[in-house]
Amino acid sequence: MIDEGKNLTKGAYAVADKTSEPVLDAVMIAPENQSPLKAVMVFVFAIIAALVSLVFWLTHPQIDQYTQSVLNLSGDPVQGRSIFVMNCVACHGQWANGKVGPNLHGVSDRKSDARLVQQVVSGETPPMPQFQPSPQDMADLLSYLKQL
């Protein structure tokens, strides 16, 4: 009986050893090691990172797919001139000197390529209508506007 009891006890230990798993001690930072300055610096860096991304986002506006495909094409200014004559001279004048719409000479100094494309396709500045040229037609038109 005593032996059996001893055996049982041994067995119980054995089972306990098999099932017990190493418990990882959670890494605790002692309160005296938590620096408030560190927390403030992390916060400040987070703010700076957010501001930098905001500025980047504002200065690099997303270019839509249509504009991107126009900018990837090379335009023919002669072709662009004939598209201009058909669609734009009524308002901007035969030689783009301006009538209802403004003089377009040097317009590419004032506006980026992407902005010029937007000006033509957006219809955001009435009475100038919203045009829907094919990317190649728009690339031709753009190359004409840029050499004015």
Q: Does 131 bind ligand HEC (CB under 6 A)?
A: yes
Distance CA 108, CA 115 (A): 9
Q: Does 100 bind ligand HEC (CB under 6 A)?
A: yes
Distance CA 64, CA 86 (A): 26
Q: Does 136 bind ligand HEC (CB under 6 A)?
A: no
CB of 134 to ligand HEC, least distance (A): 13
DSSP, residue by residue, 81-97:
HHHHHHHTHHHH-TTSS
H helices present in the chain, as ranges: 2-19, 36-59, 65-72, 77-87, 89-92, 107-110, 113-122, 135-146
Nearer to ligand HEC, 5 or 106 (CB): 106
Instruction: Answer yes or no: are the C-beta atoms of 105 and 148 closer than 8 Å.
Output: yes
Distance CA 148, CA 117 (A): 15
Please give the size of the binding site for ligand HEC, defined by CB under 6 A. Answer: 23
Nearer to ligand HEC, 5 or 127 (CB): 127
CB of 84 to ligand HEC, least distance (A): 6
CB of 97 to ligand HEC, least distance (A): 12
Q: Does 148 bind ligand HEC (CB under 6 A)?
A: no
Binding residues for ligand HEC, rule: CB under 6 A, are 84, 87-88, 90-92, 100-102, 104, 107, 110-111, 116, 119-120, 125, 127-129, 131, 141, 145
